[in-house]
Structure 1
Amino acid sequence: MGEERIFVVFLVIALVVLVARALSARLGVPDAILLVVLGVGAGFVPGLPRVTVPPEVVLMGFLPPLVYHAAFFTAPREARADAVPIFTLAFGLTTVTTLAVAGTTYALLPGVGWAAAVAFGAAVAPTDAVSATSVLQRLGAPPRLVTILEGESLINDGVALTIFGLAVESLSTPFTIGHGAARLLQVVVGGVAYGLLVGWAVRKVRRRIRDPSSQIIALLMIPYLAYIPAENLGVSGVLATVTAGFYLGTRGEGILQPASRLAGSMFWRILIFLLESTLFVLLGLEIRALLQDPGDHSWTEIAVVTLAVSAVLVLVRLLWELFNGPLAALLPGGRRVQRGLDWRRRLVIGLSGMRGAISLAIALSLPLAAGRDRGMLIVLAALVVMVTLVGQAPLLPFLLRGLGLIESDRRIMEVMAARKAGLQAALARLDELADDDEVDEATADTYRQMLELRIEGLQNRLDEEDTSRPSPPPGRARVKSELVKAQRAKLDGLYRRGKIGADTLRQVGLELDFQDPGVTGSARDAQRE
């Protein structure tokens, strides 16, 4: 019976994800919002099993690959350039937010106690970059904003979990400033050191694993090898995972070798999409169960505290981002970096502080030592996540358009220009090989025609994207599409008559996909999203 309940829940999650994706494309609303809202609605469907997710499932099952993936694909040059705003947000703002929320909670609910209030503040302090960056990337916001928000979310999880752990320890053991400082140093330094050790070891064994399937399996193990042992050693598993991911990401492609890089990247992309989507749906489904246990407090009291905490989260972040110039100026290079962030960009960063499933997972980790208010604090965390997610994310598109910060075509043109430059370099190398008689002329001509065709296609697309140039003659795309269609028909005929095999059909078909204006246009639209 238990297996049937799990199967039903997974079917509901899959259905919600499919519906949310379809509605997101039509309505232009971030996936995360629709996933949570539809999850809440599905939670009240009669006959659906009650969903309660143990916090260790989220913290140890979902968190490591999500954090590792974000750290691995963090742009190292851009992250170093924006180290000052990332540092002030991840460390300074997270700490200030924790204390502000703790003070607000204790003032409104004095029976909770300071230790539990600080633990609750640490739970809702870290931001969830997925919903914010998904909006920013789809609309074509300045890449620098995305880099700062992603860098912040990588580190503030570790900061918040460290503060949370110290607060939980103080619930059962006496707390002193000296003990807290020593424990903080142990958690941070130990986590970073262990993460570097994992990254170094992975680089050493990389060359010994040559089978593509084995490489992908090993790749999936890395986040857990960094996170779980670190937690068992009493250091920060989040910081260990972030450090390992960033170390490997800045030194090649981790454990993947060129032959398996395409398959591995596709596997990793699908895995992260499924994990993120499942987390948001589970958050929505679990709210039904959480709302049934508010503790000894009335719903009016809970609503007041929820609105007060949500307002504190938004105002503290907004004020910090708009007025933290003097603090940032004290850091090396702070004045120079801050000059590049005008008030419009600061405003977007300040209003991009949505909370996500990680906050709920941290809140669910509150021990029974938190007392009778534990259930109420968990409900508060869930409601705060809902208010910030549903209340803030829809405002970002209007804010970006109103402030004139949309650069939708810049990244697309940058990618196409890079591809064109690479193909031109390959064409030049081919000519060198032909001149040195290292390749026969027939082979050189075959590859030369293929490279020139791809360069021409990219140049046509660059001309179409560049509005400063004259528009291409009408009908060019239709002619190219008709020519590709004729080639596809001929290719299918050869396969049906047994003249070519399935592998050849797929390989040449992929080359035709690259040349088809309809396919490349759809890919371009997907990149915009």
Structure 2
Amino acid sequence: MEEPLFVVFLVVAVVVLLARALAGRLGVPDAILLVLLGMAAGFVPALPAVVVPPELVLLGFLPPLIYHAAFFTAPREARADAVPIVALAFGLTTLTTLAVAATVTALLPGVGWAAALAFGAAVSPTDPVAATSVMQRLGAPPRMVTILEGESLINDGAALTIFVLAVEAMSTEFTLADGVGRTVQYVAGGLAYGFVLGAVMRRVRRRIRDPVSQVIVSLMTPYLAFVPAEHAGASGVLATVVTGFTIGTHGEGVLQPASRLVGTTFWRILTFLLESTLFVLLGLEIREIVREPGGRTWGMVAATAPTVAAVVIGVRLLWELGYGPLALIAPNRRGQRGLGWRQRVVLGFGGMRGAITLAIALSLPTAAGPQRGLLVLLAALVVLVTLIGQAPLLPVLLRRLGLIESDRRRTETMRARQAGLRAALARLDELAEDDDVDAQTADAFRQMLELRLDRVRYYLAEEDGTGDGDAGTAGPPPNSRRVRAELVRAQRAKLTTMYRRGKIGAETLREISRELDFEDPIVIRKARS
């Protein structure tokens, strides 16, 4: 038993490392290479047979992936674009599920409606990783990135709700009234439990000062949200989403700088490993699935997979291009009036499927019958088609439609740095006037801050700056820890104010906050200890 597990672990590690190396050289998203290499690894004859238990995927992978996405959601941007996000997350997800289910039952007689709906729910939620990584690298409008990220967060909950109800319908009789009542219980219970747990965990984490303990508690949180909710008959996914969003939107008051620094690094690595492992495990399992694809011929599978992928892509594009009438719901929302046809085309084309689809498909229960392997295979092929077929064409589409703003993000970041440095200089002057800092220490910090400010001004004036402004500067006196903390605090306050007033975006706020975390003396002391 131990030897096959070791081999599988080794294969996962090798594929992940190889994908990372090739992605950097080829300039393509990691997800594409992980899909290809994971599937290729599945056909190596010497590898042991792999069958992933559905419960392992549902309980082991989904909670942390969903929690991470919810925690790092940009609250102000999500509220501003709430109408298009909610319309996509609920309306489009439901429509895609029904369209895919109808297609599968028509092309594959014998697949019941319950199994078809479960499969439709698996392939309906989007995974923004590939699309947003391309958009952010090219400098696409940030609103489009926000809508894709917000949609993918909420549609996970919508899709999982449909999936769970469809799975229940495989083994029990369901009437329309039963379905409505169960949906209300499932959704309302998950939302209520998520709000309560989020409030409790915020209070708990405020009392924890040790960064390592913060990481441990953060890792426990998604499972505390997901597992009890599911056992109580509520939506574990919605509970996890609400818990993560509740804690994440109050992160400034809950987490200390050192905890943010350690926690952000930990969760980025963890989510990457979880997503990568899903792709590789699917590839290893495909070898067993393709031997007997649900009793169907390969000709039928070859015809069904591209048809389902075309339905998934086509429904999304038609929804986006016909989205204009929904502006009547909230005509004053900037999220409605500001989306022209070019933005809607990109949003429609950017709906790739990824790790969440794989996780849901792999969690299909054995109650789906002999069709389970076929449905998992079709879900994998849909992911493959959307990632490999759409992601490489997205940069071309952005360029052709003139939606690339290559210098916007860096200019925004530089303006935020300029405002933060000016706030730090003003605070330094106040400390000097109140005799809270001696003249020598004040001069050392003033020279450091003014040098950084000069470099930022140079970039904004010439639009050709390259440095962060801290290279080659002399370090402050050893007794200046309190002064440094005050200056960092002033910059944080200014950045928060700029974000709340809408002058900078969430990504800019996080980027500069991470830089300030490295300057904070509390972080430095924790790192050294």
Paired residue secondary structure (1:48): coil
Tell me the residue number matched to 1:112.
Answer: 111
Tell me the residue number matched to 1:457.
Answer: 455
Taking structure 2 as the reference length, what is the TM-score of the superposition? 0.85
User: Deviations 1:362-401 (Å, cap 9, x if unpaired)?
Assistant: 2233333323322222222222222222211111111111
Could you tell me how far apart the structure 2 residues matched to 1:90 and 1:52 are? 31
Could you tell me how far apart the structure 2 residues matched to 1:333 and 1:214 are? 47
Amino acid at match of 1:238: V
Tell me the residue number matched to 1:427.
Answer: 425
Could you tell me how far apart the structure 1 residues matched to 2:254 and 2:3 are? 38
* Aligned pairs (5 A) from 1:1-400: 2-253=1-252, 255-326=254-325, 328-333=326-331, 337-400=335-398
Q: 1:146 to 1:336 in 2, by over 3 A?
A: closer
* Aligned-residue offset at 1:254: 6.9
Amino acid at match of 2:165: L
1:64–1:223 Cα contact (<8 Å) kept: yes
Amino acid at match of 1:357: A
2:331–2:337 Cα contact (<8 Å) kept: no
Amino acid at match of 1:180: G
1:202–1:255 Cα contact (<8 Å) kept: no
Paired residue secondary structure (1:407): coil
User: Deviations 1:452-494 (Å, cap 9, x if unpaired)?
Assistant: 2222233344455x26xxxx8xxx98xx99x94xx99xx9xxx
Tell me the residue number matched to 1:401.
Answer: 399
1:209–1:215 Cα contact (<8 Å) kept: yes
User: Deviations 1:293-320 (Å, cap 9, x if unpaired)?
Assistant: 3021100001111111111111111000
* Aligned-residue offset at 1:334: 6.9
* Aligned pairs (5 A) from 1:448-487: 448-463=446-461, 466=463, 484=472
Amino acid at match of 1:14: A
* Aligned-residue offset at 1:80: 0.7
Could you tell me how far apart the structure 2 residues matched to 1:356 and 1:408 are? 27
Amino acid at match of 1:166: L
Q: 1:390 to 1:118 in 2, by over 3 A?
A: same
Q: 1:360 to 1:206 in 2, by over 3 A?
A: closer
Could you tell me how far apart the structure 2 residues matched to 1:300 and 1:231 are? 39
Could you tell me how far apart the structure 1 residues matched to 2:112 and 2:306 are? 20
2:98–2:120 Cα contact (<8 Å) kept: yes
Could you tell me how far apart the structure 1 residues matched to 2:73 and 2:264 are? 15
1:248–1:254 Cα contact (<8 Å) kept: no
Taking structure 1 as the reference length, what is the TM-score of the superposition? 0.85
Paired residue secondary structure (2:173): coil
Higher radius of gyration, 1 or 2: 1
Tell me the residue number matched to 2:489.
Answer: none
Which structure 1 segments of 5+ residues have no match? Answer: 492-499, 501-522
* Aligned-residue offset at 1:33: 0.2
Q: Which moved more, 1:44-53 or 1:110-119?
A: 44-53
User: Deviations 1:173-215 (Å, cap 9, x if unpaired)?
Assistant: 2211111111111111111111111110012222322222211
2:206–2:255 Cα contact (<8 Å) kept: no
Q: 1:168 to 1:264 in 2, by over 3 A?
A: closer
Could you tell me how far apart the structure 2 residues matched to 1:378 and 1:217 are? 33
Paired residue secondary structure (1:110): coil
Tell me the residue number matched to 2:504.
Answer: none
2:54–2:365 Cα contact (<8 Å) kept: no
Could you tell me how far apart the structure 1 residues matched to 2:365 and 2:262 are? 42
Amino acid at match of 2:393: L
Paired residue secondary structure (2:110): helix
* Aligned-residue offset at 1:23: 1.8
* Aligned-residue offset at 1:335: 6.8
* Aligned-residue offset at 1:133: 1.4
User: Quick one: percent identity of the two aligned structures?
Assistant: 68
Q: Which moved more, 1:48-57 or 1:197-206?
A: 48-57
2:57–2:362 Cα contact (<8 Å) kept: no
Q: 1:255 to 1:61 in 2, by over 3 A?
A: farther
Q: How many residues align?
A: 478
Could you tell me how far apart the structure 2 residues matched to 1:433 and 1:402 are? 53
* Aligned-residue offset at 1:19: 2.0
Amino acid at match of 1:407: E
1:218–1:255 Cα contact (<8 Å) kept: no
Amino acid at match of 2:431: L
Q: 1:261 to 1:364 in 2, by over 3 A?
A: closer
Could you tell me how far apart the structure 2 residues matched to 1:256 and 1:335 are? 32
Could you tell me how far apart the structure 2 residues matched to 1:102 and 1:388 are? 18
Amino acid at match of 2:390: Q
* Aligned-residue offset at 1:43: 2.0
Could you tell me how far apart the structure 1 residues matched to 2:170 and 2:215 are? 42
Amino acid at match of 1:331: I
Amino acid at match of 1:178: A
* Aligned-residue offset at 1:146: 1.0
Amino acid at match of 1:371: G
